[in-house]
């Protein structure tokens, strides 16, 4: 709620670089002498509602502002109760009048904040087979463009244009996008009412045309079957809770989709995901302390989901498939089972997924928190944290040999990117700190040579300025060969 407009507006100092020129920077301003006091604040009518819950008497004077019809309102805002709409409109009108005299300042602040980002930015292309996929933005654009290019270079192919899809709509948000294993099709989701109930559609990449398939009420991303004839997804119910995991076969109506899994506990979340090997996906049922995973055989979409381990309160786990670990198909598992408070990594033969068969691959070590892991054909990679600092540990699966990617700065943020490919010797990771702007690196797991792929030089804090210039950039890595090229590579992104 707006309460007062200050007589003097001080310059807002934004501690980011690059520094703006004097005429670009917001300057102190006095409000105009003709300033008119805003209208009276809008006051919501009090309509006391008394309830008794668990032996406690509760009175809510403003319960009427929650429309009993809220489920329908989520899908169609026009269904909102007229009295509630009138009150919200009065609040908006008050705010507009109260801030009317600061319109110029608002525009200047917005322009300055926009000046701190690279408007035509793009992600680093992520290779998958013959193509590399990425997202980019147009200057002054509000929506992303999904693109791909030949892996070894070539002309860009535009897969989805968010701005074109949003044209003429009062609201539009592009959701998850997933290309099919054969690179012919693309599932994409969007929310047009602003309800966060997404609709999934399927685009033929070469023609740019969408198939007739339209699947409503989707949550998260889809998982394609290996033959690209169907995909799995999570459907939401009227209360925006998971109604189950479904399989949609292309060319059939959404009403014919098969529910492959349903969860009776409404307090649990549900998601579907694809394993790096591409053979399996999974259904994860979880809350903040307990999880349960069911495998989806993407090579046999008619098969029923297979339970990995029955849920046990307080036990969390997540799995990845490997086709030939220790000579046979296996599952690699990150879990806090057996008292592993800081998590450990275990494995089990695919044929015997239950907990009694789990064997430690990376035993639990108190004080060393296993944050996440990746499984590649020849490598097990884990991101762990000790004494407040993260590090990446790389293990060659065949020999068990490990090496640590350590970093010299005293405090930093680190992340690993799963990517699309399973049979690869390249790890992509992100790095940033108080003195190093956000960077994207590709790391050769064999030669241990890092290659800088992107650096967000534009969004750089003032105290990072000495470090943002290539001639003063020192290596942040310790014990990694090839980092002497960092200053030269940084020039690419200036």
13 pLDDT above the threshold of 70 = no
Question: Is the bond preceding residue 100 a cis peptide, omega within 30 degrees?
Answer: no
pLDDT at 479 over 60: no
pLDDT bin (cut points 50, 70, 90) of residue 24 is very low
Q: What is the pLDDT of residues 168-195, one digit of tens each?
A: 999 999 999 999 999 999 999 999 999 9
85: left (phi over 0), alpha (psi -120 to 50) or beta: alpha
Give the pLDDT score at 117: 82
What average pLDDT does the chain have? 87
131, HSE (Cβ side, Cα atoms, 13 Å)? 18
- In the chain, DSSP finds a helix count (H) and a strand count (E) of 6, 34
What tens digit of pLDDT does each residue of 123-163 get? Answer: 999 999 999 999 999 988 899 999 999 999 899 999 999 99
**Average pLDDT of 200-214?**
98
User: Among residues of the chain, what percentage have pLDDT more than 90?
Assistant: 77
Token pair listed for 227: 């033959």
Number of Cβ within 10 Å of residue 259's Cβ equals: 11
pLDDT at 446 over 90: yes
pLDDT at 19: 41
- Average pLDDT of the segment spanning 101-121: 90
Query: 411 by DSSP, 3-state: which?
Result: coil
Buried b (16+ CB within 10 A) or exposed e, 461-477: eeebeebbebeebeebb
Q: What is the C-alpha separation between 488 and 462, in angstroms, rounded?
A: 22
pLDDT tens digits along 269-312: 999 999 999 999 999 999 999 999 999 999 998 999 999 999 99
Which element (helix H / strand E) includes 419? none
Extract the tokens encoding 453.
């792929």
Q: Any idea which residue has 């690179």 for tokens?
A: 183
Nearest alpha carbon to residue 210 among 157, 161, 147? 161
> Which of 3-12, 59-68, 288-297 shows the lowest mean pLDDT across its residues?
3-12
Give start and end residues of each alpha helix (H) in 148-294: 162-166
d(CA 415, CA 24): 35
| CB-CB contact of 266 with 240 (8 Å) | no
Rounded distance between C-alpha atoms, residue 442 and residue 406, angstroms: 15
User: Percent helix, strand and coil across the chain, each rounded to 5?
Assistant: 15, 40, 45
CA 74 to chain centre: 23
Above 70 in pLDDT, residue 54? yes
Least confident of 345-354, 386-395, 478-487: 478-487
Q: Look up residue 308 and give its two tokens.
A: 């990995």
pLDDT exceeds 50 at position 205: yes
Q: Which of 326, 400, 332, 396 is nearest to 370 (CA)?
A: 332
Task: Name the residue among 114, 102, 168 with its Cα closest to residue 141.
Answer: 114
Neighbours of 164 (CB within 10 A): 11
Check residue 38 and give its pLDDT.
Answer: 58
Q: Is 250 helix (H, G, I), strand (E, B) or coil?
A: coil
Residues in the chain: 494
Banded model confidence at residue 343, pLDDT cuts 50, 70, 90? very high
Contact between 80 and 20 (Cβ < 8 Å): no
pLDDT at 461: 53
- pLDDT band at 494; cut points 50, 70, 90: very low
What 3-state DSSP class applies to 450? strand
pLDDT band at 393 (very low <50, low <70, confident <90, very high): very high
Q: What is the dihedral of CA 158, 161, 165, 171, to 10 degrees?
A: 160
What pLDDT score was predicted for residue 482?
Answer: 40
CA distance readout (Å), 71 to 77, 197, 198:
10, 11, 15
H or E segment and range at residue 169: none
322 vs 326: CA distance, rounded Å: 10
Strand partners, 307: 294
Helices assigned H by DSSP within 99-235? 103-114, 162-166
Cβ neighbours of residue 92 under 8 Å, at least 6 residues apart?
none
Residue 493: predicted pLDDT = 41
pLDDT at 456: 80
Distances (CA, A) of 408 to 125, 386, 412, 476: 28, 15, 9, 5
Which of these ranges, 3-12, 107-116, 383-392, has the smallest mean pLDDT? 3-12
Give the pLDDT band (50/70/90) at residue 39.
low
Cα(384)–Cα(325) distance, integer angstroms? 22
Mean pLDDT of 15-24: 40
Q: Give me the pLDDT at residue 370, please.
A: 98
The two structure tokens encoding residue 52 = 């008794």
CA 61 – CA 46 distance, rounded (Å):
5
Asked whether 200 and 206 are in contact (CB, 8 A), the reply is no
Other beta carbons within 10 angstroms of residue 319's beta carbon come to 25
């Amino acid at each position: 709620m707006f309460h007062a407009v200050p007589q003097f507006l001080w310059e807002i100092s934004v501690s980011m670089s690059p520094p703006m020129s004097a005429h670009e920077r917001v300057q102190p301003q006095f409000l105009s002498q003709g300033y008119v006091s805003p209208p009276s604040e809008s006051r919501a009518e009090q309509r006391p509602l008394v309830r008794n819950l668990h032996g406690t008497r509760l009175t809510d004077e403003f319960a009427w502002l929650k429309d009993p019809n809220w489920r329908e309102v989520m899908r169609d805002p026009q269904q909102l109760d007229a009295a509630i709409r009138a009150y919200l409109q009065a609040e908006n009108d008050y705010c507009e009048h109260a801030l009317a005299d600061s319109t110029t300042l608002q525009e200047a602040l917005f322009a300055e904040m926009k000046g701190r980002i690279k408007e035509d930015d793009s992600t680093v292309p992520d290779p998958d087979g013959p193509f590399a996929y990425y997202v980019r933005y147009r200057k002054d654009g509000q929506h992303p463009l999904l693109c791909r290019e030949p892996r070894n270079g070539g002309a860009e192919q535009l897969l989805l244009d968010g701005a074109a899809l949003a044209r003429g709509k009062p609201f539009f948000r592009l959701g998850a996008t997933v290309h099919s294993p054969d690179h012919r099709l693309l599932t994409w989701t969007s929310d047009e009412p602003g309800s966060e109930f997404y609709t999934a559609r399927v685009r033929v990449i070469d023609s740019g045309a969408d198939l007739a398939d339209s699947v409503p009420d989707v949550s998260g991303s889809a998982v394609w079957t290996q033959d690209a004839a169907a995909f799995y997804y999570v459907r939401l119910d009227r209360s925006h809770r998971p109604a189950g995991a479904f399989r949609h076969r292309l060319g059939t109506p959404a009403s014919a989709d098969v529910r492959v899994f349903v969860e009776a506990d409404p307090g649990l979340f549900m998601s579907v995901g694809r394993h790096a090997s591409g053979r399996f996906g999974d259904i994860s049922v979880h809350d903040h302390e307990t999880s349960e995973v069911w495998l989806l055989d993407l090579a046999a979409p008619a098969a029923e989901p297979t339970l990995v381990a029955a849920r046990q309160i307080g036990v969390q786990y997540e799995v990845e498939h490997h086709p030939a670990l220790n000579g046979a198909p296996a599952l690699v598992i990150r879990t806090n089972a057996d008292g592993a408070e800081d998590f450990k990594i275990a494995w089990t033969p695919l044929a015997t997924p239950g907990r009694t068969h789990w064997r430690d691959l990376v035993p639990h070590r108190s004080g060393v928190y296993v944050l996440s892991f990746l499984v590649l054909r020849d490598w097990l990679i884990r991101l762990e944290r000790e004494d407040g600092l993260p590090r990446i540990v790389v293990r060659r699966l065949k020999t068990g040999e490990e090496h640590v990617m350590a970093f010299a700065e005293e405090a930093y943020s680190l992340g690993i990117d799963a990517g699309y490919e399973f049979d690869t010797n390249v790890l992509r990771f992100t790095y940033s700190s108080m003195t190093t702007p956000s960077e994207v690196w590709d790391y050769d797991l064999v030669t241990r040579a890092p290659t800088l792929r992107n650096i967000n030089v534009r969004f750089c804090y003032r105290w990072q300025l000495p470090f943002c210039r290539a001639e003063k950039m020192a290596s942040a890595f310790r014990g990694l060969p090839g980092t002497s090229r960092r200053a030269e590579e940084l020039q690419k992104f200036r």
